[in-house]
Chain A
Amino acid sequence: MEGRFPERGLPYLLLLPSIAVIALFLLYPSAEALRLSLYELSPFTGQGRFVGLANFREVLSSEIYRRSLGVSLVFALGVVVLGLSLSLGIAVLASLPLRGAGVYRTVLLWPYALSPAVAGTIWALLFDPSTGPATVLLRGVTGASPNWMMSGGYALAVTVVAAAWKILGFNIVFFLAGLQAVPRDLQEAARVDGAGAGAVFWRVTFPILSPITFFLFVMNSLYAFFEVFGLIDVMTQGGPGGATEILVYRLYQDAFIATRWGIASAQSILLFVMVGALTLLQFRLAGRRVVYG
């Protein structure tokens, strides 16, 4: 079945468009970021002075950056834990043979179809400190009047919930697909052997789901680090007092508000290295527990 190209050059020619796109939009900017990270640049001319690793030193010694790193880790952990556990639970429920299960499954996917900006606006309106329905509800139930514009912890919690909600649909779809692939006879066999519902789930179903869980674990971490910019920008702009300032938002501030291109490039390199290392670590540690096939 192996086909052969009549000419040796043709396959390369056919690959050229994708290579060109990758080179233009990935390799070139990355190389440029690496170069810029070693310069102190004038925002107007783009001319600069070579400063070696000074930008990296400046970034790593900045209190603001270190705090932002901490916020990012807490944020990512919150989104991953909340997002995965909630979506697994919902997927299990939605996979039950209910009437109208198809409708539920469709509706559950909706949040994923929203743009981050729209999702952010919805949550910002819900939790508006003076007029938000969620605020009014919380006030009625607890008596306290939480203001996420003032309380950093509360703001972080709300943004984590919003970000987890946003990716819920994505997770559910994968879990649902995974659940459908679990052989019924395995579960039945376990049940016949006297295993309870919990035992069946954790001993039989969950191990079969482990490759999907691992995949979602990695995807959700990447999402929490990179893709929540719009959400944060609409909801808190990193505030109050930097409490929700995750690394990408800090990077945006330095690059596009302060036009400190050198500093921002150094941050993007650091972010790339950190997330790369994190993903590697995930594959090393969690990847071993995954059962394939």
Chain B
Amino acid sequence: MTPCVSAARWTFARVVVLMLALAGLGGEAEAQAPVKITLWHAMGGARYDAITKEIAAGFNKAHPRYVLEPLYSGSYGETVTKAIAAIRAGDPPHIVQVFEVGTQTMLDSGAIIPVTDLVKPGDIDFGDYIEPILNYYQVGGKLYSMPFNSSTAIIYYNKDVFQKAGLDPDRPPATYQDVEAMGRKIVASGAARHAITFGWPSWMLEQAHAMHNRPYADRDNGRGGRATRVLFNEPFGVEVLSRWTRWAGEKLLAYGGREYAPNKAFLAGEVAMLMQSTSQVTTIEKAARFRVGTGFLPRIEGQPAGKSVIGGASLWVLRGPGRSPEELDAIVKFFKFIAQPEETAKWHMSTGYFPATRTAVALLRQQEWFLKNPNHETAFKQIQEGPDTPNTRGVLLGNFVQIRNITDSAIEKALSGRLSPKEALDEAAREANRLLDEYNRIHK
């Protein structure tokens, strides 16, 4: 027994020595090594290739002194949670991609460096960014994160199905009544099994509020101080969910799950219309075996005009122990890189996210991109219509990730008939307000 133990101890000692030697070696080599920065992102599907092969690889090629390491860290929700855990552990990534829902959380984290504190004036012209995008990520007039992949929701429709049902394939529905009238025709003619579906149910409810200039939460949608109450269970929200529930009852609406799952039913020709993020334009156009049309989100008749709201994500810089000036410099260089019109335009073309700057848009127009790809322009046109009010700038909530889940759940309960739309939204609002109270208690 004893020789065995001593052999093990001997091996252990050798391993330790070897590790120490390697660590020393690493330290020496580091002097010449390129500066490494990490980016945690949530870009799955076609967007994964775009961010790794185009953006990261492009940046690394253009700047041999820096190495940007992109790391896929799951869904948007998971990415925020992982970043929080990393902040707590004291080893956060340099940059993290956070969806709009995480904005309030990031602001309260105490772990971020506002992008305008880092980027010197003249490095990046933020005035070049399209106003609705800037408005979303500015809080109290200050820009905190780097605009990157901004989207909004539009309606996609199957032109072939429209034609088969005797509808004009070049006229998407403009109002909820259109959706109903066209939908009934489509289902009755057998052109498709169902009329409509949508992804991101809670976001669609948020979109409906913004589209009709209604507040989603108190204190100017959380932009005039921390929100304390959600307002989605007021008569307007109940009206929206009642319409959807009626569609479900008539079999016009085939709910297909949260996020991007319902794309499948649309692409299979089972459902004629799809309300979904613009980030899916490229993916859907590539996968569809029919002519794809796009239009503005349908409006509810007799309601005031608003504007569709920004979604997607932006890049946040995280403070970390021992960040060197070179690392911060690398971050700025990276932001400058993605702000270039060519890169912004390319990112738009391979995904469908907004070309976020005016110069990128001009470049795309010069290349006649929108003429050839009209579906890529729909969202862009939509976002420029309508008034700019606190209600259309997007809601800021603490604990928003979980509140979204609660609202998703409420929408599903109403659509499946388990609860009435009013009951479902009231229940969700009670839970959401509890979470807001808790959040405001913790983050004083």
The answer to whether A241 touches B248, judged by C-beta atoms less than 8 angstroms apart, is no
Asked if A260 is an interface residue, CB under 8 A from chain B, the answer is yes
Within 8 A of A (CB), among B236-259: 248, 254-258
Asked if A2 is an interface residue, CB under 8 A from chain B, the answer is no
* Interface stretch of the complex, out of B147-155, B220-228, B348-356, B409-417: B409-417
Question: Using a Cβ–Cβ cut-off of 8 Å, how many residues does chain B contribute to the interface with A?
Answer: 47
The answer to whether B254 touches A147, judged by C-beta atoms less than 8 angstroms apart, is yes
The answer to whether A131 touches B270, judged by C-beta atoms less than 8 angstroms apart, is yes
Expressed in whole angstroms, the Cα–Cα distance for A260 and B402 within the complex equals 10
The answer to whether B81 touches A257, judged by C-beta atoms less than 8 angstroms apart, is yes
The answer to whether B81 touches A149, judged by C-beta atoms less than 8 angstroms apart, is no
Q: Residues of B contacting A150 with CB < 8 Å?
A: 248, 254-255, 412, 415-416
Within 8 A of A (CB), among B389-444: 399, 401-402, 405-406, 408-410, 412-413, 415-416, 418-419, 424, 427, 431, 435, 438, 441-443
Q: Residues of B contacting A258 with CB < 8 Å?
A: 399, 401-402, 435
The answer to whether A241 touches B270, judged by C-beta atoms less than 8 angstroms apart, is no
Expressed in whole angstroms, the Cα–Cα distance for A46 and B268 within the complex equals 47
Expressed in whole angstroms, the Cα–Cα distance for A241 and B111 within the complex equals 34
Asked if A115 is an interface residue, CB under 8 A from chain B, the answer is no
The answer to whether B410 touches A241, judged by C-beta atoms less than 8 angstroms apart, is yes
Within 8 A of B (CB), among A202-240: 237-240
Q: Least Cβ distance of A104 to chain B in Å?
A: 35
The answer to whether A257 touches B110, judged by C-beta atoms less than 8 angstroms apart, is no
Expressed in whole angstroms, the Cα–Cα distance for A128 and B271 within the complex equals 14
Within 8 A of B (CB), among A115-169: 128-131, 145, 147, 149-152
The answer to whether B442 touches A130, judged by C-beta atoms less than 8 angstroms apart, is no
B88: contacting residue among A44, A130, A131, A145, CB under 8 A = A44
Asked if B229 is an interface residue, CB under 8 A from chain A, the answer is no
Q: Least Cβ distance of B302 to chain A in Å?
A: 28
The answer to whether B442 touches A40, judged by C-beta atoms less than 8 angstroms apart, is yes
Expressed in whole angstroms, the Cα–Cα distance for A239 and B410 within the complex equals 10
The answer to whether B409 touches A152, judged by C-beta atoms less than 8 angstroms apart, is no
Q: Least Cβ distance of B301 to chain A in Å?
A: 26
- Given A131-B264, A149-B257, the answer on whether A241 and B401 have CB atoms closer than 8 Å is no
The answer to whether A259 touches B84, judged by C-beta atoms less than 8 angstroms apart, is yes
* B99-138 Cβ-contact flags toward A at 8 Å (1 or 0): 0000001001111000000000000000000000000000
Asked if A50 is an interface residue, CB under 8 A from chain B, the answer is no
Q: Residues of A contacting B410 with CB < 8 Å?
A: 241
Expressed in whole angstroms, the Cα–Cα distance for A265 and B415 within the complex equals 33
Residue of A nearest to B256 (CB): A149
Which range holds the interface residue count of chain A? 35 or more
Q: Residues of A contacting B265 with CB < 8 Å?
A: 129-131
Q: Residues of A contacting B415 with CB < 8 Å?
A: 150, 240
- Given A145-B193, A152-B418, A239-B409, the answer on whether A44 and B441 have CB atoms closer than 8 Å is no
Asked if A45 is an interface residue, CB under 8 A from chain B, the answer is yes
Q: Residues of A contacting B108 with CB < 8 Å?
A: 44
List the count of A-B residue pairs having beta carbons below 8 Å apart: 104
Asked if B96 is an interface residue, CB under 8 A from chain A, the answer is no
- Given A128-B264, A131-B268, A241-B410, the answer on whether A63 and B427 have CB atoms closer than 8 Å is yes
- Given A130-B256, A131-B264, A150-B248, the answer on whether A257 and B416 have CB atoms closer than 8 Å is no
Asked if B362 is an interface residue, CB under 8 A from chain A, the answer is no
Asked if A41 is an interface residue, CB under 8 A from chain B, the answer is yes
Residue of A nearest to B77 (CB): A257
Q: Least Cβ distance of B37 to chain A in Å?
A: 21
- Given A44-B84, A145-B193, the answer on whether A130 and B413 have CB atoms closer than 8 Å is no
The answer to whether A151 touches B438, judged by C-beta atoms less than 8 angstroms apart, is no
Asked if B329 is an interface residue, CB under 8 A from chain A, the answer is no
Q: Least Cβ distance of A38 to chain B in Å?
A: 15
Within 8 A of A (CB), among B252-282: 254-258, 261, 264-265, 268, 270-271
The answer to whether A43 touches B84, judged by C-beta atoms less than 8 angstroms apart, is yes
Asked if A187 is an interface residue, CB under 8 A from chain B, the answer is no
The answer to whether A237 touches B258, judged by C-beta atoms less than 8 angstroms apart, is yes
Expressed in whole angstroms, the Cα–Cα distance for A237 and B399 within the complex equals 19
Expressed in whole angstroms, the Cα–Cα distance for A254 and B434 within the complex equals 13
- Given A130-B265, A150-B255, the answer on whether A257 and B401 have CB atoms closer than 8 Å is yes
The answer to whether B255 touches A147, judged by C-beta atoms less than 8 angstroms apart, is yes
Residue of B nearest to A44 (CB): B109
Asked if A253 is an interface residue, CB under 8 A from chain B, the answer is yes
Expressed in whole angstroms, the Cα–Cα distance for A56 and B396 within the complex equals 29
Residue of B nearest to A131 (CB): B268
B255: contacting residue among A64, A149, A254, CB under 8 A = A149
Q: Residues of B contacting A41 with CB < 8 Å?
A: 442
Name the residue in A10, A46, A150, A254 with the highest tally of chain B Cβ atoms < 10 Å from its Cβ: A150
The answer to whether A240 touches B416, judged by C-beta atoms less than 8 angstroms apart, is yes
Asked if B309 is an interface residue, CB under 8 A from chain A, the answer is no
The answer to whether B111 touches A44, judged by C-beta atoms less than 8 angstroms apart, is yes
Q: Residues of A contacting B170 with CB < 8 Å?
A: none
Q: Residues of A contacting B431 with CB < 8 Å?
A: 62-64
Asked if A242 is an interface residue, CB under 8 A from chain B, the answer is yes
Residue of A nearest to B248 (CB): A150
- Given A130-B256, A241-B412, the answer on whether A149 and B418 have CB atoms closer than 8 Å is no
Asked if B78 is an interface residue, CB under 8 A from chain A, the answer is yes
Q: Residues of A contacting B438 with CB < 8 Å?
A: 40, 260
Asked if A28 is an interface residue, CB under 8 A from chain B, the answer is no
Question: What are 10 sample pairs from A and B whose C-beta atoms fall under 8 A apart?
Answer: A63-B427, A63-B431, A131-B264, A240-B412, A241-B410, A241-B412, A242-B409, A242-B413, A256-B78, A257-B81
Q: Which 6 A-B pairs have the closest CB atoms?
A: A241-B413, A258-B402, A130-B265, A240-B412, A241-B412, A130-B270
Since A40-B442, A130-B271, A149-B261 are in contact, a sample of 5 more A-B pairs with Cβ atoms closer than 8 Å, ordered by chain A residue number, is A42-B442, A43-B84, A44-B84, A240-B412, A257-B78
Binding site for B on A (CB under 8 A): 10, 40-46, 48, 62-64, 128-131, 145, 147, 149-152, 237-243, 253-254, 256-260
Binding site for A on B (CB under 8 A): 1, 77-78, 81, 84, 87-88, 105, 108-111, 193, 248, 254-258, 261, 264-265, 268, 270-271, 399, 401-402, 405-406, 408-410, 412-413, 415-416, 418-419, 424, 427, 431, 435, 438, 441-443
